[in-house]
Amino acid sequence: MKRLLLCLMLGLCAQAVQAQTPPPASNFAGNSIDSERVRQLVLERWQLPHLAGDAIASVRATVLPDHSLAVLGLDIRSARTVEREQVRSSLLAAIAGVSAPVAPGPVAFSLTARSGGAYLAGCFPLKVYVEPRLGDSAEALPSSSIEAIQQGARRWNRLITGFGDGGAAVTPFVLVTGPEAADVHIQGYRDYPDYASYLVNDAETQAVVRLPLKQKREAMFQSGEVWRHPEVVTQETMFQLGRLLGLDPSEVPDNVLYPNASNTIFARSTSGTIEQLKGVVLFGQGPSLAEAGRTDRTIESEQLRTVAYSLRNRSCGQKPATALK
């Protein structure tokens, strides 16, 4: 009798342990619907680092009875060893915070992060949708932030259509009022890395671009978060949209594809027949000084020619429904 009772107790303990233990990798098969739901939850929490190259992450995990995720395998394909570790650590941090409302069992999905020179499949103009609320707090975006993002698309359109060296026949971007038809979803975040990589779906037909729209402000009498200066938002929007036009990030500090904020304003002066550039660095906290110094950007003719070539060869063949002016 004691032996039978001991066997029963051992059996119950084994079941309890087995319930929290991931299935062996050799017997792995993920439910496609549950996998996609978990993938979306991970995407919402994943703070992409700034990468110089592209990265594809393949995740194998199991949903435990408490709805947490146990990672069975994480394969990162990236040309740079340092960036593979950045992707791995940021992705594991996102997975650790997920509570998946799906049945316990295996899930599998992949995530693709692009960094430059990789435009979307399809044709131009790309339809752009701006999410009206922050992705990490559901706070509504002020009209100034929405306008600043839209201004980034408008500036690209003006640059391309005004380019005299064989300009494009179509504008690169058009705004849409709903997410369903959008090629590019722009999401604002309260807390997110600057100039991060962007996400694309497996078919490379849709992109998700995330922008940090708030910043911490320290002051003697009042501290907290403030909305970022509109020009700073426009500047980063132009960087992100420029990569979707097939342009690579630039190492020139004031270039529109430079992956960092420009804190220097260049004042032109003429000495005889020689034009000189004088750098003026602005210091200070808040939007009145440092932020306002991040407005001026330059673009090279070769960059414009690259975009114009893409537009001429990948036009949808019809005028956009809503023109950006």
Question: How large is the C-alpha radius of gyration of the chain?
Answer: 24
Mean per-residue pLDDT for 209-234? 80
Name the DSSP class of 97: T
Tokens standing for residue 107: 């899930």
Intervals of CATH 3.30.1150 along the chain: 28-114
Secondary structure (3-state) at 43: helix
Mean per-residue pLDDT for 4-26? 39
Intervals of CATH 3.40.390.10 along the chain: 126-251+299-313
Residue range 28-114, CATH number: 3.30.1150
Taking only the tens place, the pLDDT of each residue in 67-126 is 999 999 999 987 677 889 999 999 999 999 999 999 999 999 999 888 766 567 778 999
The pLDDT assigned to 31 comes to 76
Which of 243, 205, 244 lies closest to 121 in space, CA to CA? 205
Architecture of domain 126-251+299-313: 3-Layer(aba) Sandwich (3.40)
The pLDDT assigned to 92 comes to 96
Give yes or no for a contact between 148 and 155, defined as CB atoms under 8 angstroms apart: no
What are the b/e assignments for 45-84, b being 16+ CB within 10 Å?
bbbbbebeebbbbebbbbbbeeebbeebeeebebeeeebb
With cut-offs at 50, 70 and 90, classify the pLDDT of residue 192. very high
Cα(66)–Cα(19) distance, integer angstroms: 10
Listing DSSP states for 208-229 in one string gives EEEEE-EEEE--SS--EEEEPP
Cα(294)–Cα(263) distance, integer angstroms: 5
Give yes or no for a contact between 283 and 292, defined as CB atoms under 8 angstroms apart: no
Taking only the tens place, the pLDDT of each residue in 234-292 is 889 999 999 999 888 888 877 888 887 765 444 443 444 333 333 333 333 333 333 44
The pLDDT assigned to 303 comes to 87
| Per-residue three-class SS string for 301-317 | HHHHHHHHHHHHHCECC
Taking only the tens place, the pLDDT of each residue in 301-317 is 888 888 888 888 888 86
